[in-house]
């Protein structure tokens, strides 16, 4: 998925971010016990730790680590920074989507800093996944074709031209090369209303032109 317009990309990112005013946070001068109370009251697994001014992101604190500390007889009156994690796990509000995907990885959220490097809010893993699922247009689609090619110049145009002889394309996502055989995979979502007869004609035409249809997913059977 590509965005050529940086302004559009930033607008999309901002729409996914939970602003700091909506969040539960912990100040660096609070104790581990204070943090645990906030986590339990809000039923969160972790929350951001900010400096005393409430502007600078220091890291995250996890309920799991507090419980472990408590079970080992740890002092609950220690400053919350004693159990600080993910101090370097943040992105700029101007970050490219490519960087966001690799930074957020296994985290429940990634903290977002504004242009002055102040804490702006968080981008949750869940909201990013939902955005990606919407880009597939599964709610208005009929089939998803996983098409393999050699990744040569013009392949995307050729496959798109074949498909649009028969129907519109609801969405198109390029997933890059498969490491096992160096084939390029592109996912085409066909709009609702495409009949199986039309689908078969598209597949046959693609394969005659040298493109392999690796998989066909029937969206109507999933929703």
CATH number at residue 196: 3.30.70.260
Say yes or no to pLDDT of 180 above 60: no
Terminal Cα distance for the chain, rounded: 23
d(CA 103, CA 122): 13
This prediction has a pTM of 0.65
CB–CB of 167/202 below 8 Å? Answer: yes
For 157, the token pair is 């145009």
Domain boundary among the residues 98, 131, 164 is at 131
d(CA 86, CA 103): 11
> Are 120 and 23 members of one domain?
yes
Domain boundary among the residues 78, 101, 131 is at 131
> Which of residues 223 and 142 earns the better pLDDT score?
142
CB–CB of 51/58 below 8 Å? Answer: yes
> Are 118 and 144 members of one domain?
no
For 121, the token pair is 């809010």
212 within a domain of the structure (yes/no): yes
- Which 3-state string (H, E, C) describes 79-143? EHHHHCECCCCEEECCCCHHHHHHHHCCCCEEEEECCCCCEEEEEEHHHHHHHHHHHCCHHHEEE
Length of the chain (residues): 223
Residue 12: closest CA among 2, 21, 20: 2
1 within a domain of the structure (yes/no): no
The pLDDT, as a whole number, for residue 3 is 41
CB–CB of 187/178 below 8 Å? Answer: no
CB–CB of 155/53 below 8 Å? Answer: no
* Parallel/antiparallel/unpaired status of strands 109-113 and 90-92: parallel
Say yes or no to pLDDT of 4 above 50: no
> Are 22 and 100 members of one domain?
yes
- The DSSP element (H or E) to which 158 belongs, if any, is helix 155-164
Domain that holds residue 183: 137-221
Residue 60: closest CA among 38, 40, 83, 91: 83
Say yes or no to pLDDT of 205 above 60: yes
> Are 114 and 211 members of one domain?
no
Residue 73 pLDDT grade (very low, low, confident, very high; cuts 50, 70, 90)? very high
- Encode pLDDT of 145-166 as tens digits: 999 988 788 999 999 999 999 9
> Are 147 and 212 members of one domain?
yes
């Amino acid at each position: 998925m590509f965005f050529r317009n940086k302004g559009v990309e930033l607008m999309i990112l901002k729409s996914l971010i939970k602003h700091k005013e909506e969040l539960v946070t912990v100040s660096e001068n609070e104790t581990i016990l204070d943090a645990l109370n906030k986590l339990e009251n809000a039923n969160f697994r972790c929350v951001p730790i900010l400096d005393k001014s409430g502007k600078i992101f220091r890291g995250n604190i996890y309920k799991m680590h507090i419980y472990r500390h408590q079970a080992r007889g740890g002092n609950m009156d220690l400053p919350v920074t004693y159990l600080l994690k993910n101090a370097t796990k943040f992105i700029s509000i101007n970050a490219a989507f490519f960087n966001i995907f690799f930074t957020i990885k296994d985290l429940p959220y990634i903290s977002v800093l504004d242009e002055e490097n102040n804490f702006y809010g968080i981008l949750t893993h869940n909201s990013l996944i939902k955005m990606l699922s919407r880009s597939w247009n599964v709610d208005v689609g009929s089939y998803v074709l996983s098409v393999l090619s050699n990744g040569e110049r013009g392949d995307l145009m050729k496959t798109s031209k074949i498909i649009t002889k028969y129907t519109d394309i609801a969405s198109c996502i390029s997933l890059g090369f498969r490491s096992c055989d160096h084939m390029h995979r592109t996912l085409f979502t066909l709009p609702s209303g495409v009949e199986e007869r039309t689908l078969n004609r598209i597949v046959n035409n693609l394969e005659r032109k040298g493109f392999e249809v690796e998989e066909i997913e029937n969206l109507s059977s999933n929703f």
